[in-house]
Structure 1
Amino acid sequence: MKSLIKLEELAMFLFAGLLFWYTDFVWWLFPALLLVPDVSMVGYAMNNKMGAYLYNIVHHKGLALLIYSMGIFMKSPTIELVGIILFAHSSMDRLFGFGLKHINSFRHTHLGKIGGS
């Protein structure tokens, strides 16, 4: 099952790359911005609960799709780009086993525990 989920996440990541390809932005912007959503981990400086909430909001694919759709509706390539990057980043994270966080620990995710036992 894990392989199937990883294939699905890879497909979504590649789809985000395809969406980016059809924008007018320079190619290197995609890899340059890909890790920016991880700034949301700053919430963990306060506590696990705040960290998990902030991280999960930024890494929610529904939010990414909403922002992308707003960019299309508003005819704003920059807002579209934000949605694409959020979606690609979330797919990449889940491909590598980093899921949405539980509030008790950064290492506990909806995909299981990160790292060793």
Structure 2
Amino acid sequence: MTRPIQILLRLEGLALLTAALWGYAALGGGWIVFASALLLPDLAMIAYLRGPKIGAATYNAAHTTSLPAVLLAVGLLTDTALATDAALIWIAHIGMDRALGYGLKRQAGFRSTHLTTTP
């Protein structure tokens, strides 16, 4: 992957993080809860104990925006603060990971991601 693409993907992650932080603040979420829950999606790494195939699939499921986007929509539509807050924290985590250069995992190993130059 070329350096400009990596930079663009990191900027996209930063934008996602910024939007989630803004939304969380606008809805009045508690910052102690935010800080306490921010790294919870990384618990998906435990699945690597079952092997790289299951580990990568589980980690990737916890680090794509699809699931928290659905949770956010449900939270907003049902006016459920817990779902909305959880979704925004989850999205912030994903954005933070991307901004720092952490990507979705390949089955080749934990350090092989969609953001690395080699598979």
TM-score by length of 2: 0.87
SS in 2 for 1:99: coil
Partner of 2:88: 84
Query: Are residues 1:24 and 2:31 paired?
Result: no
1:46 has 2:50 as partner: yes
Amino acid at match of 2:53: K
User: Does 1:99 pair with 2:91?
Assistant: no
Counting matched residue pairs gives: 114
Q: Distance in 2 between matches of 1:3 and 1:108?
A: 17
Identity of aligned residues (%): 33
- Structure 1 unmatched ranges of 5 or more: none
Flag structure 2 segments of 5+ consecutive residues without an equivalent.
none
CA offsets 1:75-104 (integer angstroms, 9 cap, x no match): 111011121111111111111111001112
Backbone CA RMSD of aligned residues: 1.6
1:55 to 59, 77, 81: 59
Letter in 1 for 2:29: F
Q: Distance in 2 between matches of 1:8 and 1:50?
A: 27
Q: Normalization by structure 1: what TM-score?
A: 0.89
Residue 71 of structure 1: aligned partner: 75
C-alpha separation in 2, matches of 1:8 and 1:58: 18
Q: Deviations over 1:27-57 (max 9, x none)?
A: 2222221111100111001111111111111
